[in-house]
Structure formats: structure tokens, C-alpha cells
């Protein structure tokens, strides 16, 4: 039997067909062009699904269902994208509209939730059932899996781990509040802090790695400079680890998961990120060593996590 997993992104719609072992058998993508009426976006999505199932000779009765991961605030119960800033969508009945093309069940969830479920079913958290994932990108997405299933809140708009306070009144967050986890732990926040430090310290190697223009700063540069002994970059990284560590401690104190996962480009740092983080949270979690402190790991499936997770919604 087969499942379809769809990663509905701002740029592309990625579709994969997944088997019972959570292997992606075939995949392809089409541009989202989200500025169009949503019916057209979802028609393209349906056509790609149909094309792939035909290519694989999958009969309708062999298709268990279709799952979609979407950015934004999702009403999973009713299959609606309540609000998505990326697409400019409000109250788009995705599963109903897509249901015009298929007879199988169709479900939708937030993309970070799907990525978390994908990593639990087939990736970095394969042997576990209780996981928190933070996607460290432009923003910070949150995914929660409890007892093997996505937890997205009782109503739409839950699991927004990036939009909980770290330092209330601090850096402005994209959500309008000041001092959210996102505003200190996103890749954007790391780059902002690295730029500030480089500007204030012309002697920092980060300036050289930026070729003299801090507009060229990326999330890799402060790690590289720190690795090469640059004290200023070292401080930026230490601060970043602290912010992220404290955010993780918050979520451990609430969920006490089996494992904490991180994803996003920053995860290319691997052990340089997860080893100090695991050490950091060991000291800070409530009840210290008297309670279970989870390991911090990097996600391993990349964007496949979203497809596999979405496929596992059904």
C-alpha cells in the first residue's frame, strides 16, 4: 500500500509517494506560484499526485491517503489553512478542494509538525515516540510528537514553540511580540548578532570571511571564525548556544520528551552544535539530574522529513 506526502512550500510543491516502510519511491515538484487563486495551486498539486501514481501504476484502492504539510496556522480537524503569511491565504479549505480529485482520505498539518513526525517514523528519532523539534531557519517552527502522534494543540495555532518568550521585551519578533524564542534562536537571529559583533569589532575574522561586507554574513561564518580562534565569533556562538539551550530547557520542562531534534542549515554544524547544547541543558532542566534529560540531536531527513511526515498523517 502507498501514501502520498506533500510538502507545500512557498516556492515549490514537493510530492512523494511513500511505501509501508516509509521509503520515498518517487518524488517530483512543481512551482507553487502562491499568488494565484488557491484552486489553481491545488489543481497543480492534484495533477502532480495523479501523474506520480500513474507512473508507479498505483491503483486508487492501493492509495491509503494523501497528507499535506503546510506553513501557517492550520485547522487540521477541518482541513483548513486558517492563515498563511507565505501564501497570503486565509481560511482556505485545502482538503475539501483537493478532495474533488481523489476518493482517499486527505489530511493536513503544519509543516514543522510533519517534519517532526517524519523524523520520528523514519529519521533521527526513529526509535522514540515523544519528540520536540525546532526548525531553525528564517523563523523558528515547532513540532511536537506525543506518544507517536503529532500534537498541534486543541485548536488551530498551537505548537508554535518559536513564539514563546525567552527574554520578554527583548529583540522584536516577526509575530509582533518582543523577545520570543524565534527572535534569539532563528538563523536570522544568529546572522543579526554576528553582523552586530562584526561591525563593533573590525578585528574579528568574521569581517574577512564576509569579504569586508557584513551583508554577506551567513549562519556558517560565526561558527567558522570561532573554530579558527576568533574570540568575538566565539562569543556570538556561545550566546547562541545559551539562547537555544534555554529555549530547549523550557520545552523539556514542559514535555520531557525522549529526544529534542533541531533542523535547518545550522545543523550542518553537527556535533559543534549538539554536544555543547546537550551539555548546556543537562545543568539547567528542572530537577537537574533527578529527572530525565533528553539528548539533543540534528534531524537527518532534510526536506524528506516533511514528505514522509505528511504521508504519515493518513
Residues 287-306 that bind a second copy (CB under 8 A): 287, 290-292, 294
Instruction: Please pick, from the candidates 44, 218, 246, 295, the single residue that binds a second copy as defined by CB under 8 A.
Output: 246
Q: Which residue number, 46 or 249, has a Cβ lying nearer to a second copy?
A: 249
Instruction: Choose one: 16-24, 60-68, 169-177, 214-222; the region binding a second copy (CB under 8 A).
Output: 169-177
Q: Which residue number, 123 or 142, has a Cβ lying nearer to a second copy?
A: 142
Identify the CA nearest to 308 among candidates 94, 128, 95, 109: 109
Q: Residue 11 in 3-state DSSP?
A: coil
Per CB under 8 A, 177 contacts a second copy: yes
Angstrom distance (rounded) from CA 125 to CA 149: 13
Per CB under 8 A, 158 contacts a second copy: yes
Please tell me the count of residues contacting a second copy according to CB under 8 A. Answer: 51
The CA radius of gyration of the chain, in Å to the nearest whole number, is 20
C-alpha dihedral, 241 to 275 to 282 to 219, nearest 10°:
20
Per CB under 8 A, 156 contacts a second copy: yes
DSSP 180: B
Write out the three cell numbers for 40. 489553481
Q: Which residue number, 1 or 254, has a Cβ lying nearer to a second copy?
A: 254
CB 49 within 8 A of CB 4: yes
Instruction: Choose one: 7-15, 106-114, 171-179, 228-236; the region binding a second copy (CB under 8 A).
Output: 171-179
Please name the residues in contact with 134: beta carbons below 8 A apart, sequence gap of 6 or more.
Answer: 140, 141, 142, 143, 161, 162, 181, 185, 244, 247, 248, 251, 260, 261, 262, 263
Angstrom distance (rounded) from CA 308 to CA 19: 9
For residue 196, what are the CA distances in angstroms to 137, 140, 233, 234?
Answer: 19, 21, 11, 14
Instruction: Choose one: 21-29, 55-63, 223-231, 253-261; the region binding a second copy (CB under 8 A).
Output: 253-261
Instruction: Please pick, from the candidates 179, 188, 282, 295, the single residue that binds a second copy as defined by CB under 8 A.
Output: 179
Instruction: Please pick, from the candidates 90, 126, 199, 275, the single residue that binds a second copy as defined by CB under 8 A.
Output: 90
| CA angle centred on 136, ends 245 and 227, rounded to 5° | 65
Per CB under 8 A, 82 contacts a second copy: yes
Instruction: Choose one: 54-62, 94-102, 107-115, 281-289; the region binding a second copy (CB under 8 A).
Output: 281-289
Per CB under 8 A, 151 contacts a second copy: yes
Minimum gap (Å) between residue 310 Cβ and a second copy: 21
Minimum gap (Å) between residue 149 Cβ and a second copy: 11
Q: Which residues are at the interface with a second copy (CB under 8 A)? A: 73, 82-83, 90, 129-130, 142, 144, 146-147, 151-161, 163-169, 175-177, 179, 246-247, 249-250, 252-258, 284-287, 290-292, 294
Amino acid at each position: 500500500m502507498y501514501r502520498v506526502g506533500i510538502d507545500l512550500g512557498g516556492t515549490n510543491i514537493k510530492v512523494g509517494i511513500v511505501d509501508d516502510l516509509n521509503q520515498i519511491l518517487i518524488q517530483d515538484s512543481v512551482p507553487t506560484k502562491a499568488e494565484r487563486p488557491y484552486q489553481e495551486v491545488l489543481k497543480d498539486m492534484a495533477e502532480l499526485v495523479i501523474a506520480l501514481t500513474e507512473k508507479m501504476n498505483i491503483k486508487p484502492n492501493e492509495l491509503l491517503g494523501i497528507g499535506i504539510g503546510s506553513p501557517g496556522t492550520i485547522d487540521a480537524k477541518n482541513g483548513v489553512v486558517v492563515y498563511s503569511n507565505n501564501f497570503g491565504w486565509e481560511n482556505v479549505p485545502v482538503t475539501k478542494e483537493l478532495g474533488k480529485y481523489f476518493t482517499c482520505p486527505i489530511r493536513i498539518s503544519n509543516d514543522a509538525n510533519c517534519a517532526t513526525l517524519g523524523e520520528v517514523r523514519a529519521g533521527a528519532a526513529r526509535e522514540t515516540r515523544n519528540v520536540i523539534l525546532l526548525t531553525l531557519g528564517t523563523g523558528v517552527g515547532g513540532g511536537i510528537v506525543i506518544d507517536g502522534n503529532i500534537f498541534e494543540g486543541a485548536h488551530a495555532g498551537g505548537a508554535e514553540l518559536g513564539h514563546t518568550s525567552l527574554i520578554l521585551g527583548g529583540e522584536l519578533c516577526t509575530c509582533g511580540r518582543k523577545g520570543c524564542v524565534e527572535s534569539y534562536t532563528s538563523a536570522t537571529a544568529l546572522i543579526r548578532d554576528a553582523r552586530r559583533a562584526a561591525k563593533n569589532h573590525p578585528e574579528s575574522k568574521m569581517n574577512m570571511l564576509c569579504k569586508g561586507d557584513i551583508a554577506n554574513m551567513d549562519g556558517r561564518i560565526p561558527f567558522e571564525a570561532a573554530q579558527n580562534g576568533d574570540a568575538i565569533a566565539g562569543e556570538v556562538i556561545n550566546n547562541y548556544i545559551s539562547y537555544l539551550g534555554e529555549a530547549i530547557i523550557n520545552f523539556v520542562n514542559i514535555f520531557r520528551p525522549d529526544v529534542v531534534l533541531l533542523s535547518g542549515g545550522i545543523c550542518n554544524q553537527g556535533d559543534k552544535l549538539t554536544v555543547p547544547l546537550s551539555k548546556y541543558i543537562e545543568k539547567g532542566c528542572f530537577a537537574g539530574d533527578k529527572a530525565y534529560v533528553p539528548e539533543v540531536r540534528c534531524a537527518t531527513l532534510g526536506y524528506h522529513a516533511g514528505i514522509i511526515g505528511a504521508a504519515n498523517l493518513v
